Amino acid sequence: MQFKKLTDLDLAGKRVFIRADLNVPQDDTGRITDDTRIRASVPAIKLALEKGAAVM
């Protein structure tokens, strides 16, 4: 089964729901100790915005 990629879609004027797992580890004060998951989701969000989508 082939999945469609954001780079292949016409997103102009469309609403895009991007689901990302943002559960990140925190220390005792609530500070994020590893932001890898957050950083990994940024390129997809930026791409959708650059293609004219409204990201939800």
Provide the pLDDT for residue 1. Answer: 87
The predicted model scores a pTM of 0.81
Structural Rg of the chain based on CA atoms: 14
Sites in the chain below the pLDDT cut of 50:
none
- Whose tokens are 């994020």? That residue is 32
CA distance 15 to 48: 9
Structure tokens at 31: 């500070």
The domains of the chain are located at: 11-55
